[in-house]
A and B are shown apart, each in its own frame.
Chain A
Amino acid sequence: MMSRLLAVFNARNKEFWRDRSSLAWNFAFPFLLVFGFYFIFGQGMPMFKVGVISEHDAYISRPAFMQLSHIQFVPYEELDQALNRARRHQIDLVLDLDRQLYWVNEESRNGYVAERLLVNADPEFNRRVVQGEPIRYVDWVLPGIIGMNIMFSSLFGVGYAIVRYRKNGVLKRLKATPLSAFEFVSAQILSRLLTVMLVASIIYFGSHWALSTLMLGSAFSLLVTLFIGALALISLGLAVASRSRSEELTGGLMNMATWPMMGLSQVWFSLEGAPPMVQSLANALPLTHLVSAAREITTEGASLMQVSDHLLILVGMTALFLGVAALLFNWDSDHR
């Protein structure tokens, strides 16, 4: 029994070590994750988040409160923007350094403690009050979950299917018909769009109905945003799968595309206050724009015009990914 077990054990080890692409991925991926999270959260999570308004970039009249540890100070250019965050409990206090004013949301527990610290350190600051229900985490995270679902369904649903078709000869059989690559790819995109939109609508409106999740914007704006976002992610899936014949390699590439988006596209947590480089990287990912636009619509009541910057970027990314996919697309399979 032992020799049989050892024989299979050895064969499996050889298979693993000789499959270069999956071997490299197995080693690289955990390292990328560890380094990525170290970089993003290397300094630990702060206890409080305080918005700061000042005309002066260097905060000339820096109060004693700002010397305290474990508080993250997030600069805002617009007071209204910062106050909206405080109303929704996304930041705990707002400080106007130039006018020595602060705003606190009296319904926020964190706001209460942060205010005590401020008053103790800098009693000269004058109090103002904002009011507003907190955005529940479920309200905040729902657009992220829908975006993540769209991402996985688009990338794996289209990318994997095409690689599988290429590998098992379905694509080759289709190539022998008058069907063009454009027709084939368009059909894949439309089919996946229909599925993704249906699932996303059911999740969103089902949650809204069952859990009364927040919807401050219009359902139409949300659907348009999800549609454009799904198109960008499906195109990315097509680009990744345009040439590959290996399901293992495609799986690796898909993971490489999805994991940074899972971590950086603010699906689960906000990147507010993260290093600028991380934020730049996040802005290069399609899911970031999909989730941000959807979240602005549902939790802030934004209109399509107000999220048009995100939508334009998504349209641009779609064009880029489709261009790459069209340029690289290959029908041929391994079968000869």
Chain B
Amino acid sequence: MTDLLSIHNLVKRYKQLTAVDGISFSVAKGQCFGLLGPNGAGKTTTIEMMEGISKPTSGEVRLFGEPASRKAFERVGIQFQNTALQDYLTVAETLKLFAAFYTKTIDRDELVELCSLGEFLNRDARKLSGGQRQRLLLALALINDPDLVFLDEPTTGLDPQSRRNFWELVQAIKRRGKTIVLTTHYMDEAETLCDDIAIMDQGRIVERGSPAQLLDRHFEGVMVHLPASAVDGKTLPFDMLINRERVEIQTTAVDATVRQLADAQVSLTGLQVKSPNLDDLFLKLTGHALRA
């Protein structure tokens, strides 16, 4: 597969703070690449360097096989984490404004349908709900029919329904063959949308692979969770990860583990069995939760 985007030894420093500390990766054509990490991990700084919004302290960004250039950015669509739009413009007027900036644009009716903007096309952009606003921002990112789309935490602050609607839009974009770079701190979002994931913490990439690969690499079997009070002072014959008020036991044989717990007089009230997810992986890799 061709790499649409690649970065090499990217570093960004703000005075004393190193926000991004020498990271490298590449994104293949047609993929949805997820950059995961808690707030302050360096995701937005990384994505802004890739978008050409901020200059790296050192390192290189290559777009479409060439060093990033103004011409290359014409083929890129961007949805920022925080964006205000010009006041007093309707959704239709905002689309028209942004369409004027590009030589090549997507058909407006097609875009309106793709992002489901029809019902509020003539509404003042300031009066949109959170979900409607994100759909408009996505439409602006797609207005130049880009080959590569950056989505920076696109569903932060949305209600579950709006998030799921937004995921459907992103999947529709994927089906059109677009390459997507997505930052998020929602593991379910990454698991649903991303083909490839890099987990960032403190400016570095701590793990890389598809969601299934990552989970296979770090977990065997399932997780058994118990309230910490249930195992208080008891010696048990397996490794346990104690996190706040919860004890986590990784096992490939749930029946045997449950029997051993019962034999050790551990109360099974509050016991939960679940498959490991990216949140568990992040906890394991960095020692703090993904949404911290």
- CB atoms of B102 and A169 under 8 A apart: no
Q: Is the CB of B101 within 8 A of A178?
A: yes
**Complex-state Cα separation, A335 to B152, whole angstroms:** 13
Q: B11 in the interface, Cβ–Cβ < 8 Å? A: no
> Which one of B73-81, B209-217, B266-274 is at the interface?
B73-81
Q: Which residues of chain A come closer than 8 Å to B53, judged between CB atoms? A: 172, 175-176
* Binary A-proximity of B82-102 (CB < 8 A = 1, otherwise 0): 111110000000000010011
Query: Separation in Å of the A17 CB from the closest CB of chain B?
Result: 26
> Are A177 and B82 in contact, with the CB atoms below 8 A?
no
Do residues A169 and B74 form an inter-chain contact, with CB atoms below 8 A? no
Q: Check A14 for interface membership: any CB of B closer than 8 A.
A: no
Contacts A172-B53, A178-B70; is A335 near B82 (CB within 8 Å)? yes
Looking at the assembled complex, report how far the CB atom of A163 sits from the nearest CB atom of chain B, in whole angstroms: 13
> Which residue of the partner chain, among A170, A176, A178, contacts B84 with CB atoms under 8 Å?
A170
List the A side residues contacting B45 at CB < 8 Å. Answer: 336
In Å, the complex CA distance between A168 and B70 comes to 24
| B136 CB to nearest chain A CB (Å) | 12
Please tell me if B44 contacts chain A, counting CB pairs below 8 Å: yes
Q: Is the CB of A169 within 8 A of B82?
A: yes
Given A175-B53, A177-B98, A336-B45, residue A170 in contact with residue B80 (CB < 8 A):
no
Say yes or no: B86 contacts A177, CB within 8 Å. Answer: no
Q: Could you say which residues of chain B place their CB within 8 Å of the CB of A173?
A: 80, 83-85, 140
The reply to whether A179 and B101 contact each other, CB–CB distance below 8 Å, is: yes
CA distance A38 to B102 in the complex (A): 57
CA distance A172 to B82 in the complex (A): 10
Expressed in whole angstroms, the Cα–Cα distance for A3 and B236 within the complex equals 54
Q: Can you name the residue of chain B whose Cβ is closest to the Cβ of A333?
A: B82
CA distance A175 to B140 in the complex (A): 13
- Whether B51 is near chain A, meaning CB under 8 Å from some CB there, is yes
User: Do A177 and B102 touch across chains, with their CB atoms under 8 A apart?
Assistant: yes
Contacts of A332 in B (CB 8 A): 54
The number of residues on chain B lying at the interface, defined by a beta carbon within 8 Å of a beta carbon of chain A, is: 22
* A172 to B85 Cα, complex, angstroms: 10
Q: How far is the CB of A49 from chain B (nearest CB, A)?
A: 50
Find B78's partner among A168, A176, A178 (CB 8 Å cutoff): A176
Cα-based distance from A25 to B216 in the complex (angstroms): 62
Q: Which residue in A165, A172, A178, A179 is a CB contact (below 8 Å) of B80?
A: A172
Q: How far is the CA of A173 from the CA of B78 in the complex (A)?
A: 8
Q: For the complex, what is the distance from the CA of A336 to the CA of B41, rounded to whole Å?
A: 12
Which partner residue on chain B sits nearest A180 by CB separation? Answer: B70
Chain B residues lying within 8 Å of A178, measured Cβ to Cβ, are 70, 73-74, 101-102
* B-side contacts of A176, CB under 8 Å: 51-53, 73, 78, 80
Of A168, A169, A179, A336, which is within 8 A of B44 by CB?
A336
Least CB distance from B137 to A in Å reads 9
A173, B82: Cα distance in complex, Å: 9
**Which residues from 135 to 191 on chain A have a C-beta closer than 8 Å to any C-beta of chain B?**
165, 168-170, 172-179
Q: In the complex, what residue of chain B is closest to A336 when comparing beta carbons? A: B44
Contact A168 B84 (CB under 8 A): yes
Q: Return chain A residues, CB-CB under 8 Å to B84.
A: 165, 168-170, 173
**Which among A175, A176, A336 has the highest number of chain B CB atoms within 10 Å?**
A176
Question: Is the Cβ of B73 less than 8 Å from the Cβ of A169?
Answer: no
Within 8 A of A (CB), among B118-163: 140
Report B203 CB to chain A, min CB distance, Å: 14
How far does the Cβ of B82 sit from chain A's closest Cβ, in whole Å? 4
A178 to B44, CA, bound (A): 21
**Residues of chain A with a CB closer than 8 A to B82's CB:** 169, 335
When chains A and B are docked, how far (Å) is the Cα of A175 from the Cα of B51? Answer: 10
In the assembly, what is the distance between CA of A179 and CA of B101, in Å?
6
* B63 vs chain A, min Cβ distance (A): 14
CA distance A172 to B48 in the complex (A): 11
Within 8 A of B (CB), among A169-225: 169-170, 172-179
Chain A residues near B52 (CB, 8 Å)?
176
Residue of B nearest to A177 (CB): B101
Cα separation A179 to B48 with both chains bound (whole Å)? 17
Task: State in angstroms the CA–CA spacing of A175 and B98 once bound together.
Answer: 12
Q: Are B83 and A169 in contact (CB under 8 A)?
A: yes
A248 to B193, alpha carbons, bound, how many Å? 43
Chain A proximity of B72: nearest CB distance (Å): 11
CA distance A176 to B68 in the complex (A): 13
Known: A178-B70, A178-B73. A170 touches B51 (CB 8 A): no
Q: How far is the CB of B107 from chain A (nearest CB, A)?
A: 19
Chain B residue at minimum C-beta to C-beta distance from A331: B53
User: What is the minimal beta-carbon distance from B46 to any residue of chain A, in angstroms?
Assistant: 12
Closest 3 CB pairs of A and B: A168-B84, A177-B101, A335-B82
Of the A-B pairs whose beta carbons lie under 8 Å apart in the complex, a sample of 17, sorted by A's number, is: A165-B84, A170-B85, A172-B53, A172-B83, A173-B83, A174-B101, A176-B52, A176-B53, A176-B73, A176-B78, A178-B73, A178-B101, A178-B102, A332-B54, A335-B80, A335-B81, A336-B45
Please give the residue numbers on chain B whose beta carbons come within 8 Å of chain A beta carbons, in ascending order: 44-45, 48, 51-54, 70, 73-74, 78, 80-86, 98, 101-102, 140
Given A173-B84, A177-B98, 14 additional A-B pairs, CB 8 A: A169-B83, A170-B83, A170-B84, A170-B86, A172-B53, A173-B80, A173-B140, A175-B53, A176-B53, A176-B78, A178-B73, A178-B101, A332-B54, A335-B81
Residues of A at under 8 Å CB distance from B?
Answer: 165, 168-170, 172-179, 332, 335-336
